[in-house]
Amino acid sequence: MNKDPLFSLSEYQARLARTKEAMYRQGLEVLLVSDPANINYLSGYDGWSFYVHQGLLVLMDLEEPVWFGRMQDSNGARLTSWLQDQSIRGYQDHFVQSNLRHPMDFVASLLAELGADRRRLGVETDNYYFSGQCLKSLTQNLPQATILDANLLVNWVRLVKSPAEIGYMRQAARIVERVMAKAAESIRAGAREGDAAGETVKAQLSGTDEFTGDYASIMPIMPSGIRTSTAHLSWVDRRYETGDLVLLELAGNKHRYHAPLSRTLIIGQAPAALEEVAKGVIGGLEAVLDFIRPGVTGEEVEGRWRRAISGTKVVKESRMGYAFGLNYPPDWGEHTVSLRPGDKNVLEPGMTIHVMPGVWLDDFGFECSEPIVVTETGCECLASFPRELIRK
């Protein structure tokens, strides 16, 4: 069967080697990977099959991870991953959404077959795809194994991107530039919010003239009016009116690698309070972009933001940035570095950060963000879009 991996075999092998090094440091002999982004990162597997249990088993003494999933998805693993056929193991459909048995029963038997049912097993305890029932099944079926928390182990391995990964993120950035422009073009007094959202999603999937896009891990966040006073609402069944403020938090996606971007749009005249907040946020953002460089910590970047907005009307209690990249719904963030007080992580070249100083006040919000990659001397904004309040 023809394989279509997106990266070289040597890159996948290097990722696996770094993962095994992290496992060794945590005293793990086996790692069960269930986060679909981490599955993709280590194997290349890409399919909309994460609504059922699937994953990888990484054993210190095996050269390849072992993919497990629903049997009807096995050919998807053969087509998209670098794994050989003996490393692709599908379970029967009677395990799917059953009250009588669980896919982790199959995984436990697979571990026994591999001679790994008495080893120190790490599991991703706090992701969206590993449930309490998963842990219960493994505990019951592997009484002689030691089950340990390996949450975010692979996420931290993913933190510094390769040149090939950054290349896909640059393509995603070209897409998000078009997506933002299409969203702004579609929003006008009298237009339905859902129609503007539809045009936005179409732009995400259509991509550019040179390459198509992909579905983003978060649907377009496009609240209007008073709904801009909070962070994660989207469109409703209404028509835009003159005076509406609209937040736009959108993304381009290429091969599951994202480039998120936020802007704010006003239909008509902008109130003085909005103008003042916009000026403060954009000024603070630009100060942060000038400050970011290798060697600074997440909390030092956030501290630069606070100094920049001192004396303005901008108030922000939440973090003002986070690592992003390869992901599946419901999030494009990597759950590692955050730009906030207490984050001691040191930025390195190749890290990708969504610098997102969104502000949500009692009556309205304002967003203006940039997806950046840390370089040897500073940072590079992946997207190019006017850093201003969009006026219609």
Diameter of the chain measured on Cα atoms = 69
pLDDT tens for 280-297 read 999 999 999 999 999 999
pLDDT for res 317: 86
Distance CA 207, CA 143 (A): 50
pLDDT at 1: 65
Q: Which of 94, 126, 157 is the last residue of a domain?
A: 157
Instruction: Single out the residue of 61, 144, 52, 153 nearest to residue 98, CA to CA.
Output: 52
pLDDT reported for residue 2: 62
Question: Where is the domain boundary, 157, 175, 199?
Answer: 157
Q: What is the pLDDT of residue 5?
A: 76
For residue 351, the domain's CATH number is 3.90.230.10
Residue 339 sits in which domain range? 163-391
| Residue pointed to by tokens 């969009």 | 390
- Residue with tokens 């936020």, as numbered in its chain: 262
Q: Is 2 a domain residue? A: no
Tell me the backbone φ, ψ of residue 165, rounded to 5 degrees: -65, -45
Reported as half-sphere exposure (CB side, CA atoms, 13 A), residue 247 has a value of 27
pLDDT for the residue numbered 313? 85
For 186, other C-beta atoms within 10 Å of its C-beta total: 20
Please check whether residues 194 and 324 belong to one and the same domain: yes
Distance CA 328, CA 92 (A): 25
Q: What is the pLDDT of residue 192?
A: 98
Does one domain contain both 233 and 253?
yes
Low-confidence ranges of the chain (pLDDT < 50): none
* Phi/psi of residue 246, nearest 5 degrees: -135, 125
For residue 176, the model assigns a pLDDT of: 98
Q: How far apart are CA 24 and CA 120, in angstroms?
A: 11
- Tokens 């209404």 label which residue? 238
Give me the number of domains the chain comprises. 2
**Considering the domain boundaries, does residue 1 fall inside one?**
no
Show which of 157, 192, 221 is a domain's final residue: 157
